[in-house]
Structure formats: C-alpha cells, structure tokens
C-alpha cells in the first residue's frame, strides 16, 4: 500500500473534469462524458495547438479524428460543457478530476528501446499537475501504462506538489477505433483501480458515479490499482493473440485446401472459444496491440520471467510473418517480379472506419513491395497523402524522394486501376464491396489479379468476372 491513509479526498460532487491529451482516446471519451453528464464541465487540453484548433473547427468534418457518431456528439456539447483548449495549467488547477490521456509509445532510445513504454509524456503531466494544483485532485490514468506506474506518479506528485492531496486511479480505456462512440456508450465494462484505503475507495466511488450516468452499475468493476493497470495490457494481449492464432491457421489452410472462415466458424460455435475476433487478415495493426504486447514482454523479461516473455512475443512474431507472407505471395504470384508493375492498394488505415494508420499492415506490405521496385498507387477514403508518405518515410528504408517516385496517392479509385497489374485490399472499407468490379476488371492489364488481405470480396463473383483472386486463408 503506498497511499497515506490520512490523504483523505473529501467526498464531494464532481463539477469539473480536465483531460490532458486530445487524441483518439481523450477526444471521444471526454465528448461522451460531456454528453452524458451535462452537469459536469469537461475541458480537454493539449500542447499541440493545431490539434486543439482542429477540435474547435466550425466545420465538423475537419475534426482531427474520424469516428462514426463523434461529430454529432461534439456538435451537441462543444462550448456548452465541452471545451478544447491549450491552457493546460488553468484547466488542471480548476479540475476536481484530471484524466491523463497522453500517448505512451514504444521507446525508441535507451534502455528498453523497441519494447518498453516511453513514459516521458506521463511524467511531464505528473510534474505539471504537481506544479500548478492548489486544491485536492483525483488523478486518473487513462493512458495504457506498465503495471506499477501509479506508484511513480504518486511519488512525483507527493514530492514536488504544493501540499495538496492526490488520489491516483487507473481507469484504462477499452474502446476500439472505428467503433469508439458505440464502445463508450455501451461499454462491456469500465475498470477502475485504486488504492484500498478509505480515501482510495472514495475516489473510486466518485469516478464510478460519473460512468453510472449512463452505464449499469454492475458493469463498473473496481480493483486494486495494479490489477487494473495489468488488466489493460492483458486484455490487448489476449485479443491480439486470437488474431495471431487464426492467422497462423490461415497459412495452414492455404496449404491444405481448408477454408479459414469455415474453421473459424466451426471453432467459434464452441461457447468456450466464442466467435468474435477470429477474422483472419493481413495482420493486426493499430497503435495499441503491438505496443502493449511489447510492453508486457519487456515487463516479464525485466522480472526474470523469460518463458512468459517468449510466449507473448510469439504473438508479434506471427503477426510480422503474416504481413510478410502476404507481400511474398503477391511477388511470387506475379511471376516472381513486381519491378515496374503497377499494384493498386485499396486501403491504408489499420482497420475500417478510422483515419488512423499507426502500425497499419499496409505500411509494411508497401515497404516490402517497394523494395522490389513495384509502382504503388494507394487509395484510402479517409487517409491523406501526407500521412501515407509520413508512414513510409518513418521506416527509413529508402529516401523520401524514392518513396515519392515509386508511390502515388490518389483520390479516385476508378482512375487508379487503369493499366494496373494487381489490386491488394489492405483495409476492409465497406465501400470497396460496392465498386463496379466488372468495370475495374476491364481497365486492368490481363491477367488481372486481386490479393484480398481482408477476405472482403465475393470469391465466386470475382472469379466469374475473370479475376485471378487470392484471399488470405483459402486457395
């Protein structure tokens, strides 16, 4: 137990909330809290002035994040009880509850490079709160953090603060991008971890009350702070493990004439296994799965649990294999050379209904094909050209000029398929299903190939049109 039992946070009504970090979590989460709690003033702050300006855009189609249902909620609450601001210190000082929702990326330097979570943004937030707070606060870890981070935050707050009382809670977020608003409005559960002292219990109850404005009480789970921190990493590890498990089976299906979708259905009918999250794909992406598993691997390794570390690392090894396998299949099917061949990418986002491309499988498949000198043409309904090049340039595999010589980003999918050798489907956008695939076939060079990394299209129909159609997990 690290909380001083005398540090009693008085039981009072929460009237002001501040959230540090206006990203994919902070923005949608606070919008929903504002919508469901009209009696609470919610201020979302960020040091990124451009991002805040975008959140304050009059044109709601220009919000920094695309999520179905988000702009309607922002329209209903913004400048009523929801505010976006760069005045970080003021918002901290005024708030009863401060959510920390800043990014916690994988470290790219020093000890733990490539595995551990980089907590520098979290520490900066803690030091800032300590510096400006003049009244007692509940500080909530919304970001995904390594187990035992709350201890470090508490230590910073207690040693550099102005004598005010802080309660630290862990309240990890489980929303998935693309369905963030629905996930928040109808969460399976809300997890609140805190210290098992009277004041810790009070803080947990106060935070629970916020969520009880729209969620049944029985879906709000209270645990100790370490269980809560660890559960977030474990939830992502288990989810990603399911994807890697079915993807490993997809490789087996392609060698044995089994169909991965039929296998997934057959096993998913077993209620102990369940049917969700068993869609074989070109590989999982997103900002969370890989980062959080690497974090789990790093923690296990640091604690001397090498077998545990190796076990979870395999989930990532399998995911890398799946992405590489997809690219290799394109190369070998196109007669072992893609040099100078036009390959069209449908999709760049890591999943449908989001403009987020972090760790998207498309980036790595593109990189492998560009190494073979393919000419890529990319279309994604929500991803802008500058983001595609940012993603590729970040890999540092070749110069930015070379990337721009070999790859183009287009706005019109019908135009881009002209004289293409192949189409690769990297994101499962619904609109791809509605395209005029006969017209697309006519425009392409023959034989015309489709490599469906999302099992999105109707195999029989595509073959009837004349395509050579390949999909993950089925020959």
Ligand X SMILES: NC(=O)c1ccc[n+]([C@@H]2O[C@H](COP(=O)([O-])OP(=O)(O)OC[C@H]3O[C@@H](n4cnc5c(N)ncnc54)[C@H](O)[C@@H]3O)[C@@H](O)[C@H]2O)c1
Interface residue list for ligand UPG (CB under 6 A)? 144, 173-177, 236, 239, 243, 277-279, 281, 284-286, 288-289, 350-351
Binding partner of residue 46 among ligand X, ligand UPG, none, CB cut-off 5 to 8 Å per kind: ligand X
- Please identify, using beta-carbon distances, which residue of 66 and 83 lies nearer to ligand UPG: 66
Closest CA to 119 of 84, 83, 162, 150: 150
What token pair was written down for 279? 């869609």
Catalytic-labelled residue, pool 19, 37, 253, 288: 288
Q: What is the distance between the alpha carbons of residues 400 and 396, in angstroms, rounded to a whole number?
A: 8
Tell me the binding residues for NAD(+): 21-26, 46, 51, 102-106, 143-144, 177, 288-291, 358
Q: Using CB under 6 A, which of the segments 17-25, 184-192, 200-208, 429-437 binds ligand X?
A: 17-25
Binding flag, residue 125, ligand X (CB under 6 A): yes
Buried b (16+ CB within 10 A) or exposed e, 12-48: eebebbbbbbbbbbbbbbbbbbbbbbeebbbbbbbee
Residues between 156 and 215 with contacts to ligand X, criterion CB under 6 A: 173, 175, 177
Stretch that binds ligand X, among 41-49, 53-61, 205-213, 263-271 (CB under 6 A): 41-49
77 binds, among ligand UPG, ligand X, none (CB under 5 to 8 A by kind): none
65 or 344, CB closer to ligand UPG? 65
Q: How far apart are CA 178 and CA 67, in angstroms?
A: 5
Closest separation between CB of residue 55 and ligand X, Å? 10
Give the SS3 label for residue 430: helix
Q: Is 127 a binder of ligand X (CB under 6 A)?
A: no
**d(Cα 441, Cα 419) in Å, to the nearest integer?**
10
Task: Determine which residue in the list 7, 31, 40, 46 makes contact with ligand X, applying CB under 6 A.
Answer: 46
From ligand UPG, ligand X, none, which one binds at residue 381 (CB under 5 to 8 Å depending on kind)? none
How many binding residues for ligand X (CB under 6 A)? 27
Instruction: Find which of ligand UPG, ligand X, none residue 281 binds, CB within 5 to 8 Å per kind.
Output: ligand UPG
Q: Which residue, 46 or 353, is less far from ligand UPG as judged by CB?
A: 353
121 binding partner (options ligand X, ligand UPG, none; Cβ < 5 to 8 Å by kind): ligand X
**How far apart (Å, rounded) are the C-alpha atoms in residues 455 and 20?**
39
Question: Which member of 41, 143, 199, 222 binds ligand X (CB under 6 A)?
Answer: 143
Residues 229-258 close enough to bind ligand X by CB under 6 A: none
According to CB under 6 A, which one of 210, 288, 318, 378 is a site residue for ligand X? 288
Provide the Cα torsion 452, 457, 459, 462; round to 10°: -100
Task: Rank residues 187 and 406 by Cβ distance to ligand X and give the closer one.
Answer: 187
State the minimum distance, in angstroms, from the CB of residue 179 to ligand UPG: 7
* CB-side neighbour CA atoms (13 Å) of 325: 23
The Cα–Cα gap between 64 and 204 comes to: 31
3-state secondary structure (DSSP) of residue 61: helix
Q: Residue 438 and residue 456: Cα distance in Å, rounded?
A: 16
Q: Which residues are annotated as a binding site?
A: 21-26, 46, 51, 102-106, 143-144, 177, 288-291, 358
* Residue number, 103 or 170, with CB nearest to ligand X: 103
Q: Is the dihedral of CA 134, 140, 144, 148 positive or negative?
A: positive
Residue 82 binding: pick among ligand X, ligand UPG, none (C-beta 5-8 Å cut-off by kind): none
Instruction: Determine whether 19 is an active site residue.
Output: no
Whether the CA torsion 4, 6, 10, 11 is positive or negative: it is positive
Minimum CB distance to ligand UPG smaller for 52 or for 315: 315
DSSP-derived secondary structure for 196-246: SSHHHHHHHHHHHHHHTTTS-GGGEEEEEHHHHHHHHHHHHHHHHHHHHHH
Q: Using an 8 Å Cβ cutoff, are 470 and 329 in contact?
A: yes
Q: What is the 3-state secondary structure (H, E, C) of 237-284?
A: HHHHHHHHHHHHHHHHHHHHCCCHHHHHHHHHCCCCCCCCCCCCCCCC
Which residues does the annotation mark as catalytic? 288
Instruction: State the residues that interact with ligand X by CB under 6 A.
Output: 20-26, 45-48, 51, 88, 101-104, 121, 124-125, 143-144, 173, 175, 177, 287-288
């Amino acid at each position: 137990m690290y909380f001083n039992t005398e540090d009693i946070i008085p039981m009072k009504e929460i009237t002001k909330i501040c959230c540090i970090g206006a990203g994919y979590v902070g923005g949608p989460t606070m919008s929903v809290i504002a919508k469901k709690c009209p009696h609470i003033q919610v201020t979302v702050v960020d040091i990124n002035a451009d991002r805040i300006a975008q959140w304050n855009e009059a044109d709601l189609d220009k919000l920094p994040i695309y999520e179905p249902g988000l702009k309607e909620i922002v329209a209903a609450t913004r400048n009523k009880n929801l505010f976006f601001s760069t005045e970080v210190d003021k918002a901290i000082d005024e708030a009863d509850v401060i959510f920390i929702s800043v990014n916690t990326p994988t470290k790219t330097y020093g000890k733990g490079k490539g595995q551990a979570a980089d907590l520098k943004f979290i520490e900066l937030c803690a030091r800032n709160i300590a510096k400006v707070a003049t009244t007692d606060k509940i500080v909530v870890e919304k970001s995904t953090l390594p187990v035992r981070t709350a201890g470090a935050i508490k230590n910073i707050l207690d040693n550099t603060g102005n004598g005010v009382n802080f309660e630290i809670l862990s309240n990890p977020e489980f929303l998935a991008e693309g369905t963030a608003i629905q996930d928040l409005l109808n969460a399976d559960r809300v997890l609140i971890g805190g210290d098992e002292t009277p004041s810790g219990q009070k803080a947990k109850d106060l935070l629970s009350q916020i969520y009880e404005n729209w969620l049944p009480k029985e879906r709000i789970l209270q645990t100790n702070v370490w269980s809560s921190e660890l559960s977030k990493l474990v939830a992502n590890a288990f989810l990603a493990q399911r994807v890697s498990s079915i993807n490993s089976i997809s490789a087996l299906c392609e060698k044995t004439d089994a169909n991965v979708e039929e296998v997934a259905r057959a096993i998913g009918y077993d209620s102990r296994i369940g049917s969700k999250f068993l869609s074989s794909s070109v590989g999982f992406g997103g900002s969370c799965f890989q980062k959080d598993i690497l974090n789990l691997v790093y923690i296990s390794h640091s604690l001397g649990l090498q077998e545990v570390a190796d076990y979870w690392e395999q989930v990532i090894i399998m995911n890398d294999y799946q992405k590489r396998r997809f690219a290799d299949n394109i190369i070998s099917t196109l007669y072992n050379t893609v040099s100078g061949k036009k390959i069209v990418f449908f999709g760049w986002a890591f999943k449908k209904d989001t403009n987020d491309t972090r760790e998207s499988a498309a980036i790595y498949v593109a990189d492998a094909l560009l190494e073979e000198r393919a000419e890529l043409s990319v279309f994604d309904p929500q991803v802008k050209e500058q983001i595609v090049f940012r993603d590729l340039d970040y890999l540092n595999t070749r110069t930015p000029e070379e990337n721009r010589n070999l790859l183009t980003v287009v706005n019109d999918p019908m135009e881009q398929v002209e004289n293409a050798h192949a189409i690769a489907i990297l994101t499962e956008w619904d609109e791809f299903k509605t395209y005029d695939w006969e017209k697309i076939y006519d425009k392409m060079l023959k034989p015309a190939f489709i490599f469906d990394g999302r099992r999105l299209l109707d195999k029989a129909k595509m073959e009837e049109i004349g395509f050579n159609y390949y999909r993950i997990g089925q020959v």
